[in-house]
Amino acid sequence: GIQVEQSPPDLILQEGANSTLRCNFSDSVNNLQWFHQNPWGQLINLFYIPSGTKQNGRLSATTVATERYSLLYISSSQTTDSGVYFCAVTNNAGNMLTFGGGTRLMVKP
Amino acid sequence: DARVTQTPRHKVTEMGQEVTMRCQPILGHNTVFWYRQTMMQGLELLAYFRNRAPLDDSGMPKDRFSAEMPDATLATLKIQPSEPRDSAVYFCASGLVRLGRGRNSNQPQHFGDGTRLSIL
């Protein structure tokens, strides 16, 4: 099946700093989503981005499908950005999401 | 905003008891997924349904787990008998999949808040 790798696994930032999270995948994809799992365990949809670039406030994401990677940018980080960020994909043959291992982000005040 | 609703949010029970988790998908979504999250395995698919028909349950231990969708507004995941290794967070997700020739058109999946299950 398709493999999804995320980096870095852990990230500590000072409030106000910017960061880039990376997601590599091993096959062409039909769907790519970024999620934020907050400290209460909820999985929050951030982006649906099988290709191209999208922005939502301080967050933006870019997927380069031909090179099999996606990037999530967080600018001017806040303590409420803390949590785990997951990238998940489906390939052309399947419908279920395959998740990466996540990036655990801690933003310090 | 429409949301996927899961009940209960938390469940603590003793080994050997039956556990039933419920999910109400978003109205209009034709595909429902069950995922499990553990520290060791991360997030993994257990089973999914399209138009209420089971399509894939290969991720589910068949001897004790069962998933059903008795109607379009309710999906259930049952464990009988439960074991301590079943302790995890169980997520339900729903989405709209449009079938195409050779390639399906997937819309984003939306997740419920999960059921945190502890088997003592």
State the smallest CA–CA distance between residue A78 and chain B in angstroms: 23
Distance of CA A90 to the CA centre of its chain: 14
Q: Is residue A27 pLDDT above 80, yes or no?
A: yes
Report whether pLDDT(B9) > 70. Answer: yes
CA atoms within 13 A on the CB side of A76: 2
Residue A14: strand pairing partners? A108
* Tens digit of each residue's pLDDT (9 = 90 or more) over B59-115: 888 899 999 999 989 999 999 999 999 999 999 999 988 776 666 666 889 999 999
Cβ <8 Å between B114 and A41: yes
Q: Which whole-number Å values give the CA distances from A4 to A45, B43, B113, in the listed order?
A: 18, 12, 23
HEC secondary structure over chain B: CCCCEEECCEEEECCCCCEEEEEECCCCCCEEEEEEEECCCEEEEEEEEECCEEEECCCCCCCCEEEEEEECCEEEEEECCCCHHHCEEEEEEEECEECCCCCCEECCCEECCCEEEEEC
Q: Is there a contact between B92 and B75 (Cβ–Cβ < 8 Å)? A: yes
Which residue type is seen at B80? Answer: Q
Average pLDDT over residues A18-47: 94
- Chain A from 8 to 47: CB within 8 A of any B CB: 30-31, 33, 35, 41-43, 45
Residues A31 and A29: their CA atoms lie apart, in Å, by 6
Distance CA B78, CA B21 (A): 6
> Smallest Cβ distance to B42: which of A35, A95, A99?
A99
pLDDT at B120: 96
Q: How would you class B119 by CB atoms within 10 Å of its CB: exposed for 0-12, middle for 13-18, buried for 19 or more?
A: buried
Give the C-alpha separation, A104 to B83, whole Å: 29
Q: Is A66 left (phi over 0), alpha (psi -120 to 50) or beta?
A: alpha
In chain B, residues 59-88 whose CB comes closer than 8 Å to chain A = none
Q: What's the CA gap between B45 and B118, in Å, rounded?
A: 19
* pLDDT tens profile B19-68: 999 999 999 998 999 999 999 999 999 999 888 888 888 888 889 999 99
For residue B2, give how far its alpha carbon lies from the nearest alpha carbon of chain A (Å): 13
Encode pLDDT of A56-99 as tens digits.
999 999 999 999 999 999 999 999 999 999 999 987 766 788 99
Q: For residue A21, how far is the Cα from the chain centroid?
A: 6
